[in-house]
Amino acid sequence: MENYKLTPSQWKVIDFPYNASSTLKIIAGPGSGKTLTLLHKIHYLIQSGQLRPNEVLVLSLTNKAVDNIIDNLLSIFELNNVEEHPPAILKELVEQIGVYTIHGLANRVVVENEGLITIIEENGWRGLLKLLPTDFWQNRRLNSNGLTRELQAALNEFKSKNAISKNNKSTKKQDEVIEKLVTIMNNGKVLTNDDLILRATEYLSRIATPSTIENEISEESFTQALKSKYKVILIDEYQDLYPSLLPIIQKVSSEKQLIMFGDTNQSIYGFLGDNSEVITALDKLHLTNSQTLHLYDNFRCTPEIINSANRILSNHHQGHSTAEDLVLKKPSGVAPQIHEFVDPLDELEFLVDNITQSVCSSAKFSDIAILSRTNKHIQTISEHLTSYGIPFEKLTVQPDWLSDTRIQFIIDLLKVALLSFKGEHAEDRMEKLEYKWQSDFNVIVTLSAIKGIGNKSIQMLYSACNARKCSLWEYISCVSKEEWPSTVSNKKKVENYTSLLKPLIKDGKICDLDEPSILLKEIVSIINDLDYDPLKFQTTKDMEIFKKNLGEMFKIMKLSKSNQPQDHPIFVEWFLETYFDQSLIFHRAKLESELDDGSLGSVKLSTIHSSKGLEFPIVYLAGGPMGLSYPIEDKSLYVGMTRARNLLYLLNTKHGRLGEPTNKSMSPLLNNEPFWNYYNLDMKRIHANPSRLFNSNIIRYNKIGGKFGLGKRTFMTYLRPTFKLCKYLL
């Protein structure tokens, strides 16, 4: 290991010995080399012989953080390959290290023990809303979050009430309705994210020690490995943990060495619960063997950026590191740029103009991130970038294709077909009972999405199937519509729904379709014959978005097919169980290919909350239109500012401790050759003749500016066609 690349404070963490049943907490500010230290810590534990690779488990909250760790682990092992292992051996060794999001880990445990489950999405909540009587919200104060959020809140309230007193049956009408919804979810193995954590914890609780393992959970299972194989648990960004995650973390970390990296100044998920409650509980996990270390250095932000960010925190102090120990970047000569705009269009034009200046200098699109406090503002910015043809990518909790409600509808229909077939063709009584009502949730969700099938009809059909003690699919597909309740309107649409799906279910056709293209064509053909409004595109843009997401789904299906194990013969079942994990594999491969193709990449758009744990050379932090008169909350602003490595713009952030707005004529871009020399050095992009290149950059920008009128507000600004600016930059 090359000592000169690591600081004294980093070495204290890396050298810290492995001890079972202990806790090591590392307080690491933004840019302090936290991830690098974590990666070197993993390498040192393995290289020093203290642990085997498959005894190390790394947990984080976000897929982005997991991607970052996975992408860089192999590089660390290659850098420190003192034993000169062949590349293939190193790759195999690194792949044995467990790296998961906490929810991904829980999902794997539950699927291993239960098979196909459903994590409820927006479509699911909308379907459940259809089952609510018209007077359900009576005497209940509604807020601006929308009815789906209100239903989630009511469900959580009901579960909390029952957790306190499980034997007290509810007498309130609202609680009786919620109880029915909970039954539907339980029968259909439909879980919220909190349910997923609790269910996984229950499975882990069944395993006390290796000697008490029961036959239903194999020693080779992933569930067992979490309790008996892993010896060190590393948690990235511990300040983002919230109370509902605590049970599984305690269960996984008990009697292990727990190593936590984080910074409470970056705790911005208070709306999910009190983080201090989690930290206090984890501090007590190994009370007699716990220690805290600090990382004070800053490798990411320029001194100008970090000093400005530190002013935001009223409680900021540098700590106890001496000046000799402290490692900081050299000054760039450019302070954060503060701008205010009354007209939202001025802000959008400013973004385009300055992005163009950056790319005409030395930056790539992929160097640039635009962060905002709201998804709505991000959407406005994305539409403006689209009009210029500037490539961008939204950083979201899950891939865009999975967030598309039309894709969710396709997945729900596939579940209806698979679960209905299994329910009808179960081989024994126990299996039949297991599947009997499992399809009800997905039938409700898909039926309720069809135009003309109203709430009352869904409620009446569901009540009727319950009275007959059969599943909803059995009822609507086997009982004549003449016997349905007279209050069910649009019976023909329900009948059309069943007649379109029956061929898939009959004789197990859904199980025989093992070619992704044929399966997808079959299900899309069915949807085309349903009166499903979201596929009646209002704009060409909406159609293109769906085509893109459907294409992404097809790629994931093909990847699933190539990864399908021999002992899992039904392709559609394998896909439905693993599509989220397969999507992450695909996403990582896509990122690697983008890094290798030499292109300028794409601008990253994100809310401040979704940007946690990431860094970007250039950041535009947009507080939103001037109408949002309130400032960004201190810790959120601090997190947003410290994502920037070299250049930071603060647009309408409205914070009193930031200082006065920057003179707009003092742009640090095209007229600042020293800064771009600094930038290229930091990005390791060294050019043979920087002055000559600098002059050509100015000529290039002026040519583009003349063609598109960048920085000039004209009538055409409001009626601008799609200019496709990016093709001139590329």
Q: Are 659 and 338 in contact (CB under 8 A)?
A: yes
Q: Are 42 and 56 in contact (CB under 8 A)?
A: yes
- C-alpha dist (Å) from residue 328 to 10, 35, 613, 639, 668: 14, 17, 19, 18, 22
Coil, helix or strand for 615?
Answer: coil
Cα-based angle 229, 230, 235 (whole degrees, multiple of 5)? 160
Annotated binding site for ATP: 28-35
Coil, helix or strand for 688?
Answer: coil
- Beta-strand ranges (E) seen in 273-350 are 290-295, 337-339
DSSP code at position 328 = B
For 281, counting Cβ atoms within 10 Å of its Cβ (0-12 exposed, 13-18 middle, 19+ buried), the class is: middle
**DSSP string of 343-372, one letter each residue:** SHHHHHHHHHHHHHHHHHHT--GGGEEEEE
Q: Are 698 and 670 in contact (CB under 8 A)?
A: yes
Q: Which of 228, 229, 280, 289 is nearest to 258 (CA)?
A: 289
User: How far is Cα 494 from Cα 502, in angstroms, rounded to an integer?
Assistant: 12
User: How far is Cα 362 from Cα 709, in angstroms, rounded to an integer?
Assistant: 22
For CA atoms 113, 115, 120, 125, the dihedral sign is negative
Give the rounded distance of the alpha carbon of 128 from its chain centre.
Answer: 24
Task: Look up residue 208 and give its two tokens.
Answer: 């006390």
- C-alpha dist (Å) from residue 661 to 54, 112, 336, 403: 53, 56, 10, 38
Side chain identity at residue 377, one-letter code: H
Task: Look up residue 689 and give its two tokens.
Answer: 């003749």
For CA atoms 467, 468, 469, 474, the dihedral sign is negative
DSSP code at position 5 = G
The contacts of residue 478 (CB under 8 Å, 6+ apart) are 470
Q: Which of 25, 55, 29 is nearest to 42 (CA)?
A: 55
Cα distance between the two ends of the chain: 40
For 348, counting Cβ atoms within 10 Å of its Cβ (0-12 exposed, 13-18 middle, 19+ buried), the class is: buried
Annotated binding site: 28-35
How many CB atoms lie under 10 A from the CB of residue 551? 11
Task: Look up residue 503 and give its two tokens.
Answer: 């061929």
How many CB atoms lie under 10 A from the CB of residue 709? 14
- How many C-alpha atoms does 98 have within 13 Å on its Cβ side? 25
User: How far is Cα 572 from Cα 578, in angstroms, rounded to an integer?
Assistant: 10
How many CB atoms lie under 10 A from the CB of residue 666? 11
Each residue of 314-340: b (16+ CB within 10 Å) or e? eeeeeeebeeeeebebeebebbbbbbb
